[in-house]
A and B are shown apart, each in its own frame.
Chain A
Amino acid sequence: MAPKMDIQLTTDVLVLGGGPAGAWAAWKAASKGARVVLADKGFLGSSGATAPGGTTLLVIPPVAELREDAVQSRLKAGGYLSENAWIHRVLDEVETYLEKVGEWGYPFPKDHNGKPLRTHLHGPEYMKLMRRAVRQAGVRILDQSPALELLHDANGIGGARGVNRLTGQEWEVRSNAVVLATGGCAFLSNGLGCNVLTGEGLLMAAETGAELSGMEFSRQYAPSAAFGSVTRGRMLAWSTLYDQEGRVIGRGDRAFGSLQQHLLKGPVYASINLADTEEKRRFLRHAHPIFFMPLERAGIDPFRDKFPLTLRYEGTMRGTGGLRLTGNDCRTSVPGLYAAGDAASREKVTGAISGGGAYNASWAICSGNWAGEGAAEYALSQSGDACKRDLTPAGRYGLVQHSDADRLMDVPEIISAVQREVFPLSINFFRSEPVIRASLDRLHGLVPFLHDSVSDDHRHRVRAREAAGMVATARWMYSAALARKESRGLHAFAEYPQLDPRQTHRLVVSGVDRIHIRAEKVPHASELTPEEGMVL
C-alpha cells in the first residue's frame, strides 16, 4: 500500500513550517549538530504571517523591576493563565537572538551613540535574512512542499510525508524528531500573508495523539480596508471612524462602542485625518509602505478620503490556542514532537489574551530556539536512524489513500461551510451558548465528508487536507468555548459576562472524531482574588 516516494530522506530533525519559528528552530537544531530538513508549504522567506508585513518587538530593558512589572501586568491581563517563569525566559533570551539578527546583517537603525534600535523587524528583510542563516547552518530546505501527514510508531513521531506543489513529487522525510511550526489557523480570511495558515499542522499532530490548549481564546479580528488584505490596526490610532451617514463614531484608538458592534449595524469608514501635518503624514507613509501602498494604488488619499473598513478573522493565529507544550523544550504530549510559534499554545506567555504582534514575534523566536534545541537533543539521543523504524502514516482526514468512498470530496464547499461558522461576528465574536452549540453541531456534521475521496491532483490533495485542518480547528475552538462558561480574555459569552475565579484553569482538547476536554491547573491561579475577578 505504501506509495512510491520520489524524494526519500533521512535526517535527525524535520521542521515543518518556514515562518520565523520554523526558521529559528531549524537554525538552532543545526547549530546543535543535528542534521535538519525544513519543509514549507510555500517559500522560506515569503511564507507566513510575518514575511509580508513586519513586527514590533517586545523590548523591556533588563532592569529587574521593569521586567517584573511587565510580567505582573501580563499575568493580570491574561486572566492568570500565563506563567511568570516563561515570560521571564522570553524577555531574557529574545535579546540574544536579536543581536544575532544584527550580526547576520539586519540593518537595524542606530541611535546617536551608535546603539542599534531593535524595536521592529521589517518582514521581507527579516525573513530573507533568516533564509540565508538557515541555509548557512546547513539545513536542507524543501520549498513549496506542504506536509500532508506525520509518520509514527509506538515510540512516537518519526517524520512526515508530503508533496511538492510545483512538481507533484511525493516526499518522505524520516526523522526521530519533528518540530511543528506550521502557524495558527486563519481560515483563508485573506489577512496579509495568512492564507497559508489553514490548521492542517494542528490536525496532523492531533492525529498522532497530541493535545491542544487555549483553543477557546479565538475571538480576534483585525481591521483592514474592506477591499484589501492589509490588516494593520495601529493606523486607527490616527484615524477618525465614520458610519454610513458620515457621523463620527470613533477617534484615535477609541471607537465609541466597539468596531465589531458598529460593523454589525452597517458599513464603517476610516480616514487617517488625525495625522494633521505634512510631517506626520510623510512619516507614517514611510514607516508603513505595506499599509499605504495598496490604498494609494486604489486611488485613495487615506489622509483625506474615507475608505470602508472590514474586520478579517484571525483565528488561532492572533488567538492564543495551539499544541499543548509539556516541557521547557517545547515538547508536546507525543514523544519526538515539538511545537513552536503560533502552532503552539501561547498561553504560557499571554494567558487568555492575544499575544499581539510583539509578544508573538518574541515567542516565535524563543519557542523556535527551544524547540529546535529540544528536538536536536532528543533525536541525537536515539540509538538509530528513523529509516530503520517501522513507521506508519498517521493521517486520516481528507486524504485519498485512506478513503474507500467513491464520492469526491467537495473541498470548496467544505471550506465555505467552515467559514460560514467562524467568520460572522454574530456567531464567533458576540458568542452566546446556544448559537455556538448550534454552530458546533453543524461543524461536527462536516466530519463525514472528510472521508470522501480526493482526486489524484496534488493541488487538490493539499487543499483537501487544508479543509480538514480547518474543520478540526473550528470544532476544537467551539468545543473549548462551550466548556468555558465565563468571560475571560479572548473568550466571552453573553450568558456569562464575568470572569469566574473557579475557572482559572486551562482547557486541554484532544481527538478528532470524538473531542475530549479536560481542565489543567495553572501555577498562578491562587493569585487571582475574587475582587480582581470582577474587574477582569
Chain B
Amino acid sequence: MIEVISESKCIACNQCVSVCPTNVFDRVADGIPVIARQSDCQTCFMCELYCPVDALYVAPESESVIGVTESELSEQGLMGGYREKVGWGKGRKPVASHEYMYQLSKRSGF
C-alpha cells in the first residue's frame, strides 16, 4: 500500500492524484496531496512510476499498513528505487528496450 508522500520532495504537481487508478489521493489547495483512502490502494506502484521527483513510496504489503517513515526509507535508499529499475527518468534506458524478456521467452518456452 501507499505509505509515504515525502513533504520535502513533493512539488505538488498532483500527478499521483491524476494517475491513481483507484482514486487514493486527494488534491489539497495550497499544499501537497494527501493519502485520503489508503485502503483503496491496490499496490500497483503506478503512482511511484509517474512521480517525477521520487516523493512516493508504496510498500509491498497489499493488505496491511506498515507505518514506515520517510527517514527509514531514505536510510535504506528505497525512495525512487522502482523508477530506476524500470528505467524511467532522465538519462535512463527503459527496461522495455532490453532483450531480457525476449531471452526469457526463448529460454523458458513461454
Which residues from chain A sit less than 8 Å from chain B, CB to CB?
A: 41-43, 45-48, 51-52, 54, 56, 106-109, 117, 119-122, 124-126, 143-144, 165-166, 190, 192-196, 225, 227-229, 234, 237, 283-284, 286-287, 289-290, 293-295, 297-298, 459
A532 to B99, CA, bound (A): 40
Q: Which residues of B contact A192 (CB under 8 A)?
A: 42-44
Q: Which residues of A contact B49 (CB under 8 A)?
A: 124
Pairs across A and B, CB under 8 Å, 29 listed: A42-B20, A43-B20, A43-B21, A45-B19, A46-B19, A46-B20, A46-B50, A47-B21, A56-B105, A119-B101, A119-B102, A120-B101, A124-B46, A165-B23, A193-B42, A193-B44, A194-B42, A196-B42, A227-B60, A237-B108, A283-B104, A284-B104, A286-B95, A286-B100, A289-B82, A289-B85, A289-B95, A294-B45, A297-B81
Q: Contact at A293–B81, with CB atoms within 8 Å?
A: yes
Q: Contact at A195–B110, with CB atoms within 8 Å?
A: no
B31 lies within 8 A of chain A by Cβ: no
Range class of the B interface residue count: 35 or more
Q: Contact at A124–B86, with CB atoms within 8 Å?
A: yes
Q: Contact at B44–A52, with CB atoms within 8 Å?
A: yes
Q: Which of B27, B64, B96, B110 has the most CB of A within 10 A?
A: B96
B90 lies within 8 A of chain A by Cβ: no
CB distance from A535 to the nearest CB of B (A): 22
With A106-B96, A120-B105, A297-B59 known as contacts, the answer to whether A290 contacts B45 (CB < 8 A) is: yes
Q: Which residues of B contact A117 (CB under 8 A)?
A: 99, 102
CB distance from A228 to the nearest CB of B (A): 5
B78 lies within 8 A of chain A by Cβ: yes
Q: Contact at A227–B64, with CB atoms within 8 Å?
A: yes
Q: Which residues of B contact A56 (CB under 8 A)?
A: 101, 105, 110
New contact pairs (10) apart from A227-B63, A298-B61, CB-CB < 8 Å:
A43-B19, A46-B19, A109-B99, A109-B102, A124-B46, A144-B23, A193-B42, A196-B22, A229-B43, A287-B98
Question: What residue in chain A is nearest B81 (Cβ atoms)?
Answer: A293
Q: Contact at A166–B62, with CB atoms within 8 Å?
A: no
B69 lies within 8 A of chain A by Cβ: no
Question: What residue in chain B is nearest A312 (Cβ atoms)?
Answer: B62
With A46-B44, A107-B96 known as contacts, the answer to whether A294 contacts B60 (CB < 8 A) is: yes
A190 to B18, CA, bound (A): 21
Q: Which residues of A contact B42 (CB under 8 A)?
A: 190, 192-196, 229
CB distance from A362 to the nearest CB of B (A): 14
Give how many A-B residue pairs fall within 8 Å (CB-CB).
140
Q: Which residues of B contact A120 (CB under 8 A)?
A: 101-102, 105
Question: 1/0 contact trace for B35-55 toward A, CB 8 Å?
Answer: 001001011111001100000
Closest 8 CB pairs of A and B: A42-B21, A294-B60, A107-B97, A287-B100, A120-B101, A122-B96, A229-B43, A195-B42
Complex partner residue of A166 from B27, B37, B40, CB under 8 angstroms: B27
Q: Which residues of A contact B95 (CB under 8 A)?
A: 122, 125, 286, 289
Q: Which of A126, A166, A234, A283 has the most CB of B within 10 A?
A: A166
With A42-B22, A56-B105 known as contacts, the answer to whether A166 contacts B17 (CB < 8 A) is: yes
Q: Which residues of A contact B18 (CB under 8 A)?
A: 43, 143-144
Complex partner residue of B62 from A47, A227, A289, CB under 8 angstroms: A227
Q: Which residues of B contact A229 (CB under 8 A)?
A: 42-44, 60, 62
Q: Contact at A48–B21, with CB atoms within 8 Å?
A: yes
A295 to B101, CA, bound (A): 20
CB distance from A64 to the nearest CB of B (A): 23
CB distance from B104 to the nearest CB of A (A): 5
Which residues of B5-30 are within 8 A (CB) of A?
17-23, 27
CB distance from A20 to the nearest CB of B (A): 14
Q: Contact at A227–B82, with CB atoms within 8 Å?
A: no
Q: Which residues of B contact A108 (CB under 8 A)?
A: 96-97
Q: Which residues of B contact A48 (CB under 8 A)?
A: 21
B103 lies within 8 A of chain A by Cβ: yes
Question: What residue in chain B is nearest A126 (Cβ atoms)?
Answer: B96
A14 to B85, CA, bound (A): 37
Q: Contact at B46–A51, with CB atoms within 8 Å?
A: yes
Q: Which residues of B contact A193 (CB under 8 A)?
A: 21, 42, 44, 46
A43 to B62, CA, bound (A): 21
A528 to B2, CA, bound (A): 51
Q: Contact at A119–B105, with CB atoms within 8 Å?
A: yes
